[in-house]
A and B are shown apart, each in its own frame.
Chain A
Amino acid sequence: MSAIPLRTIHDFPGGVHPQENKEQSTRTPIAIPPLPARLVLPLNQHSGAPAQPVVSAGEHVLKGQLLAKATGFVSAPVHAPTSGTISSLEMHPVPHWSGLEESCLILLPDGKDEWCSLSPIEDYRTAEREELVERIHDAGIVGLGGAGFPAAVKMSSRKASKIHTLVVNGAECEPYITADDMLMRERAAQLVSGIEILQHMLAPEQVLIGIEDNKPEAIATMEKACAGKAGIEVCTVPTKYPSGDAQRLIWLLTGKEVPNDSRSVDIGILCYNVGTIVAVHDAIVHGKPLISRITTLTGSALSRPGNVEALIGTPAEHLLVFAGIDNDTFHTLIQGGPMMGHTLDTTAVPVIKTSNCFIAGTAQEFPAAPPAQACIRCGLCADACPIELLPQQLHWYAKSQNHDQLQHHNLFDCIECGACAYVCPSAIPLVQYYRAAKDEIRTHKARTEKSERSRVRFEQRQARLEAAAAEKEARRKANAEKARKLKEAKAAAATAPEKSEAKAEAEADPIQAAIQRAKAKKAARAAGTDSPAKPAKPARPQLSPKQKELKIQLSMAKAQLKKSERALPQMEEGSPEANKLKDDIALVQKQLEQLQTEFDAASSAPAEAPAATEKPVKAKKPALSDDEKKRKIELAMKKAALKKAERALAVAEEAGSDQVDTLRQARDEKRQALADAENTGVQA
């Protein structure tokens, strides 16, 4: 029995007293507007994952039938608010602050308003808690106070078994909105029934109904309805915005604070809006899903402001016309209250589960914001902040985009109630700064995380590549070692002393050496014929183009030598082959020697006369005509063919194949062709 309120009300810091404007919409009882021509049902009317349609276009549905099922843990299904035909699934404006469109099911009512078969729970007292939670979830019930958090999720938490206090939120602190007020006045019985269901499910020690003292009728009705009910207490709280915020109300009624990294359920308290609890009653006692809600229609542009029980999906314009909108003075459409509500671009938006109010305001009622003046750090905002932030400091840091300081000043604790902006004498849109700063920080964090992931991925890839390269190198070394051992064993067996000498020379490809020699000759010729226009720069006398050319050729020859080293062991196998190779090698050696001599001569040349300068090189470069290029390519191709033939021959010899002779012949032919081509090149 709660006739004598003995409860201490714990005042929270800050808060403001904006003009209430509630009286306009409480003069008439809750009305039922006519059925609209079409209903627009967004798939995402709650916080969490959007619902997934289970009906297709053209399908006829009955009132209360499931249209879209919940996906994931935090989600809620959507039901048909009346019977009719699903016409399409399309993008449609929704009441969201972003102004973006969302996927909506369009339902064309057939006017029959025909219910699907409902299965109410006969006696919830005998039902299992899990079954009731499932019913509440399946009914698509979300927090009707504005947050839209699926109601079943809160009560299915493991910690929900240790709830000691159930707070029923009937504070309704936002100006203009009277939906909860009217609901408590007219549906107190259902509300109490819903509370009793929750009492059965959660077994709290106490149920505290918090109502602001500006709703005497609602308080009186609720006190009457709760008379004699065990554990239920109607608590009057002083009118002060934002007392209707769940955590503020919990503070007011219990003096308990929800730690910033937890939810109220963690401290054994659950808070539900009165509308949500009536929806629970409807779902359990009547088996009805959430397909309508009480919405306040108010604002100076309406001639008949009041509350309506609107089907979810009813376009706002339908309701505004019902409430007598004056399109001449209509200037601003707000969903929610003037403190936390957001303006809407179009009246085409539907009523969704969280639409507690539509304000059709005039220009006088909601004038454009005056130009903001400088912040003088008067601190009125800090005095108004219900969670004791320093809004003036946050504003300063938001302007300078000082993310570290913003977080140090607990920006993310800001509930965006707007009390600071309300009291700001300089008319600074503070909440807007905080929203933008929060977004900036979130974006920045996401970006940092992404680049961090990319960095890790790149490093891992590099490590993989390096490991693969190292493995390859190790394999190569092992193979070379194996080959060397094999060769040593064979050399020991053959005991041929000249072989070791031949070994080094055999590495040089005779034809490659010939190419190099030819090139060197050409370069020498070019250097000799073109008289230098000016002396070489004294700073770099050793690096004349000709020398460079020769040096490159030498190093190329050496590289070639090394390369052929790998093919050598097999080449030495057959003795007639070895003899022939020996001859070739002798030739290559001579050619190499010649090349070396030429290089040495060129190296010593600049000391006596600067033979090579940049000019001859320039003169030489154009000499590389198309024909020459072609020849070079031809040579390279022939050389490759020869190499291939040599490899094939080596393999055949190793295996002792009878094709050795044929292959050898082919090899010789290729060698000849290459030599011919080379000669042609030299003569040209």
Chain B
Amino acid sequence: MALIRQTSPHASGKNHTNHIMRMVIVALVPALFVQMWFFGWGALVNVLWCSVVALGAEAFVLTLRKRPLAFYLKDGSALVTAWLLAMAIPPGSPWWLTFVGVSFAIIFGKQLYGGMGQNPFNPAMLAYVLLLISFPVEMTSWLAPQGAGVDPMGLTDSLQAIFAGHSIDGWTMATPLDVVRENKSLTMAELWTEKPQLDGLTGIGWVWVNLAFLAGGLFLLKQKIISWHAPVGMLAALGVMSLLFWNGTGSGSHGSPIFHLLSGAAMMGAFFIVTDPVSGATSNKGRLIFGAGVGILTYIIRVWGGYPDGVAFATLLMNMAAPAIDYWTQPRTYGHRKPKRGMAKSE
């Protein structure tokens, strides 16, 4: 009778990387529904189309790399990237735009670095920035939310816009971040009454989209899929920045803290982007710093930069800083007086 020889520990927890990825997708579902409600079927079509492209691109590279397909496709990491990118770009974007974006995210953003766990940048954000720089018109053509005077696109219109190249001009409208950014003459109060897409705290739909992302994020926190450090770091930094530089409600206003926290990709970034463990900092303290960095940079780009939202750029910039943050945020190990800092000294 041959006894099995194995290394300790011989017991293992029930957690599984595939489960983590599934949970992230589950947490994105509320936000997807809200996006569908306000921006039409395009949001769902985006997600489905991106998923297909992501799995295809992943399978393609895995075949080239001679890796087992099922084992890697099942881990769900490609799907998470696809969902994040799909929900970040305007619903109703043409099929080739998402195709380029998702293929780039999977092939260049992830697999060329060695696949899951090896990528220094968040693949979804990398692809988002690629698309934003390459196709600025398509990437800034957000649909008008339901309730802003334009009916959201139906399923047929969405499919035609996405796959048949029909123009979506009749449905688009500047996003609240854009409106506030471009505004030079009106006070905030005037702006809010003048622009149909602005309502309540930020803008029609956007509050709910952000709240849905927040709800999904809280679910992930509850499930212990993510830790609170990076989201809190980012939201706190964004809040503090927007409070510090809040210059009132006049025509040159940068927008209130609430406006910034519930606009654009703030909540999505806080709970689904900066929490990406692979490309972020790894210690808890490091995650706080990483998140705060993203929050500060997001605000700077939104207010003084060339783009209406800055989460993607901020994330990529902080991705570059993540290894350095890791070097300087080692926790203090038991029995050591001080935590170790910086790089190892070569012997």
Contacts and interface: CB of A to CB of B under 8 A. Distances in A.
A260 B336 contact: yes
Contact of B4 (A19, A327, A332, A409): A332
Contacts of B9: 338-340, 418, 421-422, 431
B248 interface: no
B48 to A, nearest CB: 25
B118 A374 contact: yes
A330 B1 contact: yes
Contacts of B11: 18-19, 175, 338-339, 422
Interface stretch (A27-35, A341-349, A482-490): A341-349
Contacts of B140: none
A341 B10 contact: yes
Interface string B321-333: 0000010001111
A410 B336 contact: yes
B333 A413 contact: yes
Which of B9, B16, B330 is most buried by chain A, counting CB atoms within 10 A of its CB? B9
Interface in B196-231: 224, 227
B6 A99 contact: no
Interface string A401-430: 011110111100100101001111111010
Contacts of B224: 380
A379 B9 CA distance: 18
Interface in B1-44: 1, 3-13, 15-17, 19-20
Interface in A228-260: 247, 251, 257-260
Interface in B105-155: 115-118
B116 A374 contact: yes
B172 interface: no
Give the contact-size bracket for chain B.
35 or more
Contacts of A371: 71
A624 interface: no
Contacts of A377: 117, 277-278, 280, 282
Interface in B62-77: 71, 75, 77
Contact of B334 (A344, A388, A392, A408): A388
B335 A258 contact: yes
B27 to A, nearest CB: 15
B10 A343 contact: yes
A22 to B, nearest CB: 13
Contacts of B71: 371
Given A259-B335, A377-B277, A405-B344, A429 B117 contact: no
Contacts of A388: 331-334
A444 to B, nearest CB: 10
Contact of B17 (A12, A16, A402, A426): A426
A52 to B, nearest CB: 31
Nearest to B345: A404
B256 interface: no
Nearest to B117: A374
A432 B277 CA distance: 23
A51 interface: no
A369 interface: yes
Interface string A339-370: 11111111100000000000001000010110
Contact of B7 (A379, A405, A408, A432): A432
Interface in B297-347: 326, 330-337, 340, 343-347
Contacts of B282: 377, 379, 382, 390, 392-393
Contacts, number: 173
A376 interface: yes
Interface string B280-291: 101110010000
A332 B3 contact: yes
Contact of A425 (B19, B283, B337, B340): B19
Contacts of A432: 7
A431 B15 contact: no
B112 to A, nearest CB: 15
Given A345-B3, A374-B118, A404 B346 contact: yes
A605 interface: no
Interface residues of A, number: 73
A378 interface: yes
Given A374-B116, A409-B340, A331 B3 contact: yes
Contact of B335 (A260, A347, A380, A425): A260
A660 interface: no
Given A375-B117, A409-B340, A343 B6 contact: yes
A408 B6 contact: no
Nearest to A436: B7
Contacts of B345: 404, 408
Which of B13, B75, B284, B334 is most buried by chain A, counting CB atoms within 10 A of its CB? B334
Contacts of A429: 7
Nearest to B20: A425
A673 interface: no
B332 to A, nearest CB: 7
Contact of A373 (B75, B330, B334): B75
Contacts of B19: 425
B336 A425 contact: no
Contact of B333 (A247, A251, A410): A410
A341 B4 contact: no
A284 interface: no
A402 B1 CA distance: 40
B113 to A, nearest CB: 11
Nearest to B77: A376
B284 A382 contact: yes
A635 interface: no
A250 to B, nearest CB: 11
B333 A418 contact: no
Contacts of B20: 376, 378, 425
A382 B8 contact: no
Contact of A332 (B10, B13, B116, B284): B10
Contacts of A389: 331, 333
Contacts of A410: 333, 336, 340
A343 B17 contact: no
A220 to B, nearest CB: 28
B8 A425 contact: no
A99 B5 contact: yes
Given A376-B116, A376-B277, A431-B9, A387 B334 contact: yes
Contacts of B77: 376
Given A408-B340, A413-B336, A331 B4 contact: yes
B6 A404 contact: no
Interface string B240-283: 00000000000000000000000000000000000001101011
A602 interface: no
Contacts of B7: 429, 431-432, 435
Contact of A260 (B15, B280, B333): B333
A374 B19 CA distance: 14
A386 interface: yes
Contacts of A387: 333-335
A361 B7 CA distance: 15
Contacts of B347: 403-404
A448 B233 CA distance: 45
5 cross-chain pairs, A with B, having the tightest CB-CB distances, nearest first: A418-B9, A408-B344, A260-B335, A374-B117, A387-B334
15 contacts: A332-B4, A343-B4, A371-B71, A380-B224, A387-B333, A393-B282, A402-B344, A404-B347, A408-B340, A409-B340, A413-B334, A425-B16, A427-B16, A429-B7, A435-B7
Given A332-B3, A344-B3, A383-B284, 5 more contacts: A340-B8, A361-B10, A380-B15, A383-B227, A413-B333
Interface of B: 1, 3-13, 15-17, 19-20, 71, 75, 77, 115-118, 224, 227, 277-278, 280, 282-284, 287, 326, 330-337, 340, 343-347
